[in-house]
Structure 1
């Protein structure tokens, strides 16, 4: 017998409305994958509302409860297993007692593995290896999905990091005559890639963001009547007051003097 990984149970069910199981404790790992419908899963720490494409892990010796929705009950499949390497394999899938929920978009893949497991009744020799083969395929699919999702998260985190670095640089240097190239050099990115990140995260180019940021600061300074327009222009990074006035009007819709007068009124 293979003690690294052992199959305990597998199956598929279209639940009746409000069907529930528990509170109960298992002596093995049990994964449910939802093909359709929705419901709630509780593990003693948190309560999760789960629907199509999601799944949940039940760990050994953990008191759990789950219930299908009254109007849109679950249609799910399950696979139960244990073994010396079970926890390790699940960790590679991104699953643990602390993180029991996963998402897998290709339901046909998982269901296909289960259907093959169902055929194990017809296997006379090597049945255990037959089942373990499909269990390994099932877990490897979750591993691949987990790493792909982590990669997407890292890309989002990378974008947030660089955009925030650029915004911080603008916030500290908008009063100087900085350019988009200066911003790109500061964060260590090619100008075109910085453009891509800004458009994706803020729906603005770095140049558009810089202009809008400077105009916000200019509007704040407009409230100080003792400051001439030329001084305000210099304070937000424009050496030429005429260029500043032109950009202000294009951005705000009014000339600096018109804006200041209306604010007074």
Structure 2
């Protein structure tokens, strides 16, 4: 019988930064304000097949997991829990734990580790043990946006300014989980919000309007009319714009070649991608990359 595969990272499409201790000491732990609460690790694992970690003595940091899709499981001294889409958990520092993705429907998760001199006070003030289970949370685009701001601030370089910005974002990011009632709209998610989320999760796919309408169990004509009424654009026009905006991020923040970026946003033909890019941005991707340097 084959050995069970267990991976702590290395997933296709993952994003991850583990800040070296020496860097934390240099830029954060010497500052009275920043050392109160700060990021130590940050990551995004899409469809993390065979993801597994076990820490029998716990971790020095709090760990927050936000599940966007799929599911996984975690165990602590408080019990065994299943984490599904639109749920989160916080594993407090120093508590033994084990977590893993589901074999058949592995989770897609955003996660952070955070620590600091005020971590114990943070946990006490917010009764951290109440977060040590699977907690429902409405989808909130701000969560993803703030995670990206923290990630790309640190990714752009280890400087005091970047860490300062990322760690100020951390407080806002945590507040969306700790105090969700104040920011959640008390209405059902509308079709456009669901559609935009679906498109962002499938940015690398060449979806058709039929694919999108079928996903939400609508006819093509009804879905297209409803989407255009709310946004002023067709679903495919909107999807193309999302793809091009994401391509701009990759041009700004990565060293990927234009052909590789085209593939990441669902275009096998780099020349066709360039034409679509030029139509929306007013210049070719190669020119855009030069201008942003």
With structure 1 as the length reference, what TM-score do the two structures score?
A: 0.50
Q: What is aligned with 2:89?
A: 56
SS of the equivalent of 1:10 reads: strand
Q: What is aligned with 1:32?
A: 65
Q: What is aligned with 2:11?
A: none
Q: Output the aligned Cα RMSD.
A: 2.5
State the alpha-carbon separation in 2 of the partners of residues 46 and 136 from structure 1: 28
Q: How big is each residue's C-alpha offset from its partner over 1:191-231, in whole Å with a ceiling of 9 and x where there is no partner?
A: xxxxxxxxxxxxxxxxxxxxxxxxxxxxxxxxxxxxxxxxx
SS of the equivalent of 2:77 reads: coil
SS of the equivalent of 1:16 reads: coil
Q: Which runs of 5+ in 2 are unaligned?
A: 1-30, 187-293
Structure 1 position 140 matched with structure 2 position 179: no
Q: What is aligned with 1:20?
A: 52
Relative distance call for 1:78 and 1:95 in structure 2 (3 A) is: farther
Q: Choose which of 156, 162, 178 in structure 2 pairs with 1:122.
A: 156
Q: Choose which of 32, 41, 60 in structure 1 pairs with 2:74.
A: 41
State the alpha-carbon separation in 2 of the partners of residues 7 and 17 from structure 1: 25
State the alpha-carbon separation in 2 of the partners of residues 112 and 37 from structure 1: 20
Q: What is aligned with 1:160?
A: none
Q: What is aligned with 1:161?
A: none
**Displacement of 1:72 after TM fit?**
0.8
Q: What is aligned with 2:104?
A: 71
State the alpha-carbon separation in 2 of the partners of residues 81 and 35 from structure 1: 20
**Displacement of 1:148 after TM fit?**
7.6
State the alpha-carbon separation in 2 of the partners of residues 40 and 8 from structure 1: 23
SS of the equivalent of 1:97 reads: helix
**Displacement of 1:95 after TM fit?**
5.3
Q: What is aligned with 1:210?
A: none
Q: What is aligned with 1:9?
A: 41
Relative distance call for 1:67 and 1:10 in structure 2 (3 A) is: same
SS of the equivalent of 1:111 reads: helix
**Displacement of 1:112 after TM fit?**
1.0
State the alpha-carbon separation in 2 of the partners of residues 143 and 16 from structure 1: 26
State the alpha-carbon separation in 1 of the partners of residues 101 and 87 from structure 2: 14
Relative distance call for 1:141 and 1:41 in structure 2 (3 A) is: same
Q: What is aligned with 1:228?
A: none
Relative distance call for 1:134 and 1:60 in structure 2 (3 A) is: same
State the alpha-carbon separation in 2 of the partners of residues 95 and 51 from structure 1: 23
Relative distance call for 1:122 and 1:17 in structure 2 (3 A) is: closer
On the 8 A contact 1:90/1:96 being kept in 2, the answer is yes
Q: How big is each residue's C-alpha offset from its partner over 1:90-112, in whole Å with a ceiling of 9 and x where there is no partner?
A: 566x5513541333212422111
Q: How big is each residue's C-alpha offset from its partner over 1:167-214, in whole Å with a ceiling of 9 and x where there is no partner?
A: xxxxxxxxxxxxxxxxxxxxxxxxxxxxxxxxxxxxxxxxxxxxxxxx
Q: What is aligned with 2:146?
A: 113
On the 8 A contact 1:55/1:103 being kept in 2, the answer is yes
**Displacement of 1:12 after TM fit?**
0.3
Relative distance call for 1:136 and 1:72 in structure 2 (3 A) is: same
State the alpha-carbon separation in 1 of the partners of residues 178 and 90 from structure 2: 14
